[in-house]
Amino acid sequence: MTAEKKIPPHIPSLKRDPIPESPKFEEWLKWYAEKFPESSKWINARKLMVEKFLREAEFEPGKFVKTRDFWWKLSPEERIRFFVERFREVIRENRALRLYLENCTHCGYCIDKCQMWIATRDYHNSPVGRVDLVRAIFKYYDKLTGKLFSKLVDAKELTEQLMEELWIYFHQCTECRRCAYFCPFGIDTAEVTRAVRQIFAEMGMVYEFVGNTVRSLMKTGNHMFLNAKAIKAVFDMVQEEIKEETGKDIEIPLDKPKAKILFLPSSTDVFTNLDTLKGFVKTMYALGLQDKYTFSSEVFEVGNFGLFVSDYHLTRQGKRIAEVATRLGAELVIFGECGHGWRAFKNYVIPELEKRGIKAIHFMQLVVWAIKKRKLKLRKLDYVVTYHDPCNLSRAGDLIEEPRIILRTVCKEFREREHNKHRTLCCGAGTGLLGDDVIPLRVWAGWPSVYDAWKTGAQILATPCSIDKAQFPVVINYHIPGQMTVKGLADLVGYALEL
Amino acid sequence: MTPLEKFLLGITVPSGAYVCIVLGYVALAYIAVIVFVVGVLYRVIRWAVTPKGPGGLYWGLYRLTLYPNVHSFWKAAGWIFVRMFTFYTLLKENFGYVSGGFWFGLILFHYSIWATLLFHGNIIAYALNMYFHVPLAVKYWLGIVAGVLAYAGLIYLAIRRAYVQARTKVKINYFDDWLLVLQLLIIMGFGLAAKCTAYPSSFTEEAIRSYVHSTYSSGPLAPIKGELVHLVKEYGSVMFILIGEWFKGLLTGNINLAVKAMYCVAVYHPLELVHVFFAEWFLIYIPWSKMIHMFMMPFNPALYGKFEPKEPALQVAIDIVEGRR
Ligand code: SF4
Ligand code: SF4
């Protein structure tokens, strides 16, 4: 770090701070000085006042929304009353939340573990500062000492201003759970975030990008408003491309009845991540599974933005997958590439499938088995590659070693990053912080992770996560354009496969 | 009844002092223990019976498991155990920081506290006639060293607390945090000071005799100072024995014995009196404050959950690939 590239003393800094390492450091300083107080404006797309949207996203009174009306029809007082009542209810119903609110010792160890704090150096953007916002309400409404000595113990009555802060800061937590790993007690801020967002969602308040994605999910079973016709059109095109590349005419099965295997891709695999889709298709072909699997237009999605909105939406999509798999008579469901989706899948859908006698695995688990048994003919790609552990794979999904085995097999050289596995850094766009309105936040929240990868000198940043694949190119392009390429694991397997 | 008990029961305590001791060291002691036990049970049971969330799920998830490769109850328990007793996540590097100092401070503080609590256990053992004999010099020095280390750990942690807030500009210190630190400083400080001043300078016959004769030559214990020399040779200090008799009185419901033993503590070892008093309040404080954190980890769903092993599902895939299905 050169002398002038240092965080000024009035801003809290880290020992080996990643922020000054960005070529755009000067912009960060300007941004910090000028825009920081305005950061509350970032997450401002909250007024989803379209009746159609609410209907399609199944935010319906009685069915999901528990307010007697949608939030904009409530007076500020009614909103506060709703939040407080619901919050007190939730505390009684939710073990994790109660535990996390009651047990923080304020040791401060988690603060500089959060990429949102690293990006913004904002008090409430640290795990403890974030949870303290709700802890203050909890103390005020649920603790005698909070009522009696509110100032002394930082207990606060809920006001419009505080509600605003709750909205802002709980929409800047990416639920990455890095803090939970580091915290001596394992206090999981992401669970507090999920609870707060659930209450907001019940009031009809959802971050626009996420809300629209959920709307699509509820309507179509995927995040991108895709129907069977659109999927088929892309499949035909991809089939052509594979034929050109390999000389093999591999039909990509969609809605094939009585398939033994249901394959779930990410809906972005027919948009920006076509190489990921090709990787899946080629691998299934190479394993002789061509006639035994199918994609389904009803559940053309591994992602599940319900995880970021409410348990209702999460389980709704999860049940749909289980229903489709059952109807198909599938014996196995293979999960493609997605980070948050794997968390929902692993921790909700798989147990649901198990109840129906259907098993499920991750695509990478299948590939690793095939590598070990020499079932795939793989050449070494001339790439130096590093791996970004998606938070939800390493800290919520029991998947750490498989991608490393794959990358060591298919690439010339694999380089570990410094902050990896449990300590992996979030891409900065988790929980669907993917809107253009949050670009300033995204490019800096994603930088610590990109910097970690960049430092390895690798040319490829591999990640089996659709949000990463959408986020990292934006971050790379902003800080170090052209210096790294982002690829999915399946993409690389696809390139390396000899059919 | 031992001769010491018989003697203690024969002591006359001024009525004002008697009432004060009954209130502060008998009633309060019982209340403290009851509040502590009931309070901790209440908190812990409340955590245990609070449902996971709607539909028996954590907002739609069957588990919140954080660690990979946790496929059995024992493995999850192992992680909790390791976390509780090693604080190892503090040694994980993050942008140039390995919080070695914090880790060391925590280890120093917690392990020394546990050691001193273990030594306190021997007082209860004395009250139950199960005293575990330890060479006196070892007992004395181990106690002091553990106390000093715990105190050093506490001071380090308090300074670190202020430093982290200053460095990160994140407000992590509120009144209740400092109240906790203050209480510990008082309890441990007085306990340590009482320990340092209540023992002879060495455990030679001569040192014990001269210490006992100079300390207990007046006041209620003066008539048995000859006996006290033998007791000190066996147990290390008169304060230890008096606190042991106080415990015995409380455990057996012999209030008179408890009061009179504590009266002697008040006369000869007032520092200990302060230590005990604040410790009683602290017991009451624990269940209702963040001190409850010590019971939290086994209830943390991020730590205790487990995943299903991947092998059965993989086997289905293999069977399909190899044509057995
Ligand atoms: S879950 Fe991640 S983003 Fe949220 S507070 Fe913790 S470290 Fe920060
Ligand atoms: S590391 Fe854990 S206990 Fe310490 S301040 Fe953060 S959440 Fe609280």
**Would you state the pLDDT for residue A39?**
53
Question: Which CATH number is A377-496 given?
Answer: 3.40.50
pLDDT higher than threshold 70 for residue A182: yes
**Would you state the pLDDT for residue A208?**
79
Q: Are A302 and A464 in contact (CB under 8 A)?
A: no
Under the banding of pLDDT at 50, 70 and 90, the label for residue B22 is: very high
**Would you state the pLDDT for residue A147?**
84
For A187, phi and psi rounded to 5 degrees? -70, 125
Average pLDDT of the segment spanning B93-99: 92
Average pLDDT of the segment spanning A133-147: 90
Q: Chain A closest CA to B178's CA: distance in Å?
A: 10
Q: How far apart are CA A243 and CA A262, in angstroms?
A: 23
Interface of B with A in 278-307 (CB under 8 A): 288, 290, 292-293, 296-297, 299-303, 307
Residue B125 in contact with partner chain A when CB distance is under 8 A = no
Interface of B with A in 199-258 (CB under 8 A): none
**Would you state the pLDDT for residue A46?**
44
Under the banding of pLDDT at 50, 70 and 90, the label for residue A435 is: confident
Average pLDDT of the segment spanning A67-75: 54
**Would you state the pLDDT for residue A206?**
81
pLDDT higher than threshold 50 for residue A44: no
Let me know if the fold of A46-206 is the same as that of A377-496.
no
The preferred substitution site among A121, A168, A177 for testing ligand 1, maximizing ligand atoms within 8 Å of CB, is A177
With CA atoms as reference, the chain B residue closest to A121 would be: B168
Domain A46-206 has CATH 1.10.1060: yes
**A387, A444, A497 from A384: Cα distances, Å:** 10, 25, 17
Interface of B with A in 131-150 (CB under 8 A): none
**Would you state the pLDDT for residue A148?**
84
CB contact (8 A) between residue A108 and residue B51: no
Average pLDDT of the segment spanning A400-427: 97
The angle that helices B255-268 and B270-285 make with each other, rounded to 10 degrees, is 120
More confident of the two residues A123 and A338: A338
Q: What percent of chain A has pLDDT over 90?
A: 74
**Would you state the pLDDT for residue A66?**
46
Whether ligand 1 lies within 6 angstroms of the CB of A367 is answered as no
Q: Where are the domains of chain B?
A: 3-199+236-321
**Would you state the pLDDT for residue A45?**
41
> Which of A39-48, A54-63, A85-94, A133-142 is least confident?
A39-48
> Which of A63-67, A311-315, B130-134 is least confident?
A63-67
pLDDT higher than threshold 90 for residue B131: yes
Q: How far apart are CA B10 and CA A491, in angstroms?
A: 89
Q: What percent of chain B has pLDDT over 90?
A: 93
**Would you state the pLDDT for residue A367?**
98
The correct CATH number of A216-369 out of 1.20.1250, 2.40.160, 3.40.50, 3.30.160 is 3.40.50
Whether ligand 1 lies within 6 angstroms of the CB of A177 is answered as yes
**Would you state the pLDDT for residue A75?**
76
Contacts of A93 in chain B (CB under 8 A): 50-51, 53-54
Q: How far apart are CA A32 and CA A37, in angstroms?
A: 8
| Tens-digit pLDDT profile for residues A352-364 | 999 999 999 999 9
CB contact (8 A) between residue A191 and residue B102: no
> Which of A66-75, A233-242, A382-391 is least confident?
A66-75
Under the banding of pLDDT at 50, 70 and 90, the label for residue B93 is: very high
Q: Hey, what amino acid is at B83?
A: R
Contacts of B172 in chain A (CB under 8 A): 106-108, 111, 128
pLDDT higher than threshold 90 for residue A34: no
Under the banding of pLDDT at 50, 70 and 90, the label for residue A152 is: confident
| Tens-digit pLDDT profile for residues A439-497 | 888 999 999 999 999 999 999 999 999 999 999 999 999 999 999 999 999 999 999 99
pLDDT higher than threshold 50 for residue A50: no
| Tens-digit pLDDT profile for residues B163-177 | 999 988 878 898 989
With CA atoms as reference, the chain A residue closest to B102 would be: A109
pLDDT higher than threshold 60 for residue B73: yes
Residue A347 in contact with partner chain B when CB distance is under 8 A = yes
* Residue in the block written with tokens 């079973």: A221
> Which of A12-21, A211-220, A411-420 is least confident?
A211-220
Under the banding of pLDDT at 50, 70 and 90, the label for residue A2 is: very low
Question: Which CATH number is B3-199+236-321 given?
Answer: 1.20.950.20
The ligand minimizing its distance to the Cα of A445 is 1
> Which of A64-68, A112-116, A322-326, A439-443 is least confident?
A64-68
CB contact (8 A) between residue B59 and residue A94: yes
| Tens-digit pLDDT profile for residues B48-64 | 999 999 999 999 999 99
Of B58, B106, B310, the CB nearest to A361: B310
Q: What percent of chain B has pLDDT over 70?
A: 100
Q: Cβ contacts of residue A50 below 8 Å, gap of 6+? A: none
Q: Chain A closest CA to B35's CA: distance in Å?
A: 17
Q: How far apart are CA A170 and CA A159, in angstroms?
A: 16
> Which of A33-42, B97-106, B285-294, B307-316 is least confident?
A33-42
More confident of the two residues A57 and A221: A221
Q: Tell me the average pLDDT of chain A.
A: 91
Tell me how far the alpha carbon of residue A106 lies from the centroid of ligand 2, in angstroms.
5
Q: Where are the domains of chain A?
A: 46-206, 216-369, 377-496
pLDDT higher than threshold 70 for residue A42: no
Average pLDDT of the segment spanning B151-169: 93
Q: Chain A closest CA to B188's CA: distance in Å?
A: 19
User: What pTM did the predictor assign?
Assistant: 0.93
pLDDT higher than threshold 80 for residue A318: yes
